[in-house]
Amino acid sequence: MRVLSALLALFLVAGCGGEPRDTASAAAPADPAVVQTAAGALRGTVADDHRLFAGIPYAAPPVGPLRWQDPEPAPPWEGVREATAFGPRCMQDLNGDIELGRQTDEDCLSLNVWTPPVPEDGDDAPKPVMVWIHGGSFVAGSGGIYDSRRLASRGDIVVVTVNYRLGALGFLAHPALGPPGAVGNYGLADQQAALRWVRDNIADFGGDPAKVTIAGESAGGMSVCDHLVAPGSEGLFGAAVVMSGPCQAQLALPAAQERSIAYAADVGCADPASAAECLRGLPANRLRTPVWYYGIGEDQLSGPVTGTAALPTDPVAAFGDGTAARVPVLMGTTRDEWTLFVALQRIRDGRDYTPEEYPQLLTGTFGPDAAAVAERYPLSAFPDVALAYAATVTDGVLACAGERWARELAREESVYFYEFNDRNAPAPDPLKALPFPVGASHSLELRYLFDVGGASPPDPAQVELGEQMVDYWSAFVKTGKPGGGWSVVGDGVMSLQPDGSRMIDDFGATHQCGFWDGLQ
């Protein structure tokens, strides 16, 4: 099964950001705003319900000779470094920018630490840690979008949000950039460097380095799938959360190298003998455009590359043969995943899909299975071509695939599977003006865990669902179990709804998983 064209950037709105700066001021040892790390002291911000240390460098700037190299340790600093503003986003295409023009820079490898308040009773028991890997198709986004104060305060956990290299700067696999099999996956190596930073420093923030959960949504969820099988991630986490992760959308090394060579030629670095020097000498602005925009094919992400030293095994294959990391997993999807992408296509093109386009859409996504999919999902069963197509990709690429991976992982460890099913979830205004409903679409559940803004306020029932989800996620980070009446996958799916979340047994029937499993 081929995956539809690369996942578009998440339709979110970000807050402002900036670069940290150095200062020589000193602070009293008891000041909760000051933390001493291995590289130097940091001053963050303290509120009634949380602390935030923003823009912390976890690796050296990946510029000059370090472009397309694995990250090096961050250099130390003297005095107390201000950690009160988010660092710049990693380089990304600014067309259709979703973060209101916040600064981008090649020097972007920073992270943000959200903690509960320092307890007044002197209880210094370390808190479990969740490391959040942002989505955005590996071409957009940043850790600064995800305001984690509710997870830190209500959930009583430490949350770390991470920037990592994106697009061509993060995943170009040109063979001239390194030894055979050791190219690509620089963004994945950044995430591993951030996890090592957490291991070495999080105790200074009150976190427990022995109790780390990695979590992510969309491309972030796919990254978590990669860490479950990547040799360099072993031992850096003890549990995992995969939210709407297209874990099957990896690109094998031969195809990645072919596309990277074509990309290099397009930016003026066609000569194999000088390609590495030429590419490293280009201004970063010349490298904003992701590899997948260059028309060798439109059905793959600019992202992780399998068959490499960093990612030898395809995650889905490892799930099936039992060789993935044996850790508790919380995994799930949204009820109407793909409506976001047909909506963004409609907003971009200003027109609806026509019935005549339906077979072409299915062929482009499902290849030789397109006819069987068309018979199973006839246009007559849907009010709109866009919703018919969205249903096929929701069910076949994300919902049923995710539940199948969960069952495979559950052969080795406890796995919990959910479906976010608030079909009236708050959405950005452009999505509300469409001629079809987006329902519980891709990324809309994020507002129930993080304060990301950009949508109408939730109603009281949705606020309650958000509190419940924060409780579930933080319980999983603390114990490896979400609690609250969840059963492991195989005994049902947790349906997250504002009128009452509950275990359901009709997930497979709703998404026609018997049909999709039969196509594998």
Catalytic residues: 218, 337, 442
Which of 424, 459, 464 lies closest to 444, judged by CA?
Answer: 424
Q: Which residues sit opposite 160 in a β-bridge? A: 113, 131
Structure tokens belonging to residue 434: 């469409």
Structure tokens belonging to residue 432: 């509300």
- How far apart are the C-alpha atoms of 172 and 467, rounded to whole Å? 40
Print the SS3 string covering 144-167.
HHCECHHHHHCCCCEEEEECCCCH
Q: Environment class of residue 278 by beta-carbon count within 10 Å: exposed (0-12), middle (13-18) or buried (19+)?
A: middle
Query: CA dihedral defined by 433, 436, 437, 438, rounded to 10 degrees?
Result: -90
- How far apart are the C-alpha atoms of 270 and 379, rounded to whole Å? 46
- The letter for the amino acid at 321 is D
Task: Confirm if 333 and 419 have CB atoms less than 8 A apart.
Answer: yes
H helix or E strand, kind and range, residue 36? strand 34-36
Q: Which residues contact 445 (CB under 8 A, 6 or more apart)?
A: 217, 243, 334, 420, 422, 425, 469, 496
- How far apart are the C-alpha atoms of 379 and 385, rounded to whole Å? 7
Q: Environment class of residue 384 by beta-carbon count within 10 Å: exposed (0-12), middle (13-18) or buried (19+)?
A: middle
H helix or E strand, kind and range, residue 200? helix 186-201
